[in-house]
Amino acid sequence: MSQSNKQLLRATVLCVTSILLASCANTKISQSWVEPDNKKTYSDLLVIGIAESEQNRRAYESHFVDDLRAIGVEAEASYKLIKSNEEINRDTVAKAIKGMGIDGVIVTHLVAVDEETIYRPSTSYMYGGYGVGYGGAYYGGLYSYYPHVNSYVNNPGYYTTHETYTLETNLYDVESEELVWSARSRSFAPESVQEVIVDLTSLLIEDLQKKNLIKKK
């Protein structure tokens, strides 16, 4: 295999790999912060999801609670303690968790929804640059190059617009009422609410564990 063909193959493999990774990781944590002086870990949490839809709130809280309990951390969904018509504030939360032994409160809410436009080139065109595309099948001569160029000029790429959802999740200490951890996540063009819930809860728990903020009761 010639050097140019090897480089072309490598570029193709990298391209395909990046596409596969992107399709498997639509939700990512974009930033995470923990109070540097915090020494506490939490074993009994109240999970609050602030959403326009009560159905989404319950789905999120239930899944988060199930995932926490699966690793031995006690947790309770706020919808079981605070009614949908009640405002979630200091008083309602304090009243709801009184005497339950809950030591931390996790709150997730939507920060922003942004639209992102992506140009997708025609599949008939591959540009590799010097040493990759040049000198290869398309650039070997006039009569192989012209039909290829003509095909993508007459069949151009297109633009697609996707929505990116940014959510913020905060952990508050019940005793001090202070913020001890915060994370922002971005979900790119999710196919469903359930997809975001499953991916996000997994990522949040992983980050909480890495920062030694949760433990088995």
Distance from the Cα of residue 137 to its chain's centroid: 40
Of the chain, the percentage scoring pLDDT greater than 70 comes to 70
Give the bridge partners for 182, in sequence order: 33, 170
According to DSSP, residue 96 is labeled: H
> Strand 158-173's sheet: what is its strand order?
27-34, 179-188, 158-173, 104-120, 44-50, 74-77
Confidence class for position 28, pLDDT limits 50, 70, 90: very high
Handedness of CA 188, 194, 197, 199 (dihedral sign): negative
Confidence class for position 139, pLDDT limits 50, 70, 90: very low
Domain residue spans of the chain: 27-117+160-210
Q: What is the predicted pLDDT for the residue at 181?
A: 98
Q: Which CATH class is domain 27-117+160-210?
A: alpha beta
Residues in CB range of 170: below 8 A, 6 or more apart: 106, 107, 108, 179, 181, 182
Q: What is the predicted pLDDT for the residue at 125?
A: 47
Q: What is the predicted pLDDT for the residue at 163?
A: 82
CA atoms of 167 and 214, how far apart (whole Å)? 21
pLDDT digits (tens, 9 = 90+) for 177-194: 999 999 999 988 778 889
According to DSSP, residue 81 is labeled: T
CB distance 74 to 45 below 8 Å? yes
pTM equals: 0.70
Q: What is the predicted pLDDT for the residue at 122?
A: 57
How confident is the model over 45-74, as a mean pLDDT?
95
